Amino acid sequence: MFDLFGWDPGMSALAGLFLILGALIIGAVAQVIGKVVVGYEWIFTALAAFVGGWLGSEAFGTLSTWGPEFEGLYVLPALIGGVVLGGVVDFVVRHLTGGSYLEPRPI
């Protein structure tokens, strides 16, 4: 486990990097769906997916041991938490900025 400014996040640094990578992927996927008005919506989605992934891993992963565990990161609870919280934040930001999920994006 690694120590982050005197705080133990409950996983190794490698698992933390995988969590960051997964959050960036969730943010990028949400950015290419539908009509995006501003180009930085993916940042808010990725931050929310990171927080949701960490909360999902720590809160739900320690309640039960379902799903694979990698260096302190419970993968399935982290994935579910990241997608749910990232999706909620993406929905809110998309509608506050005037974007849409229904309009196709030009290729």
DSSP-based three-state secondary structure for 36: coil
What φ, ψ does residue 21 adopt, rounded to 5°? -60, -45
- Domain-located, residue 103: no
Cα distances (angstroms) measured from residue 47 to each of 32, 66, 78, 107: 17, 25, 13, 27
Spatial contact of 77 and 61, defined as CB atoms under 8 Å apart: yes
Distance between CA atoms of 51 and 49, rounded to whole angstroms? 5
This prediction has a pTM of: 0.84
> For residue 18, is it within any domain?
yes
pLDDT value at residue 60: 79
Domain assignment of residue 38, yes or no: yes
Full residue range of the structural domain in which residue 67 is found: 13-96
pLDDT at res. 83: 96
User: Does 1 fall in a domain?
Assistant: no
Q: Is residue 6 part of a domain?
A: no
Classify residue 5: in a domain, yes or no.
no
- One pLDDT digit (tens) per residue for the chain, 107 residues: 555 556 566 778 898 899 999 999 999 999 888 888 888 889 999 999 999 999 998 887 777 677 888 888 888 999 999 999 999 999 999 888 888 777 766 66
Structural domains in the chain (count): 1
Query: Hey, is 2 helix, strand or coil?
Result: coil
Task: Give me the pLDDT at residue 2, please.
Answer: 55
106 located within any domain: no
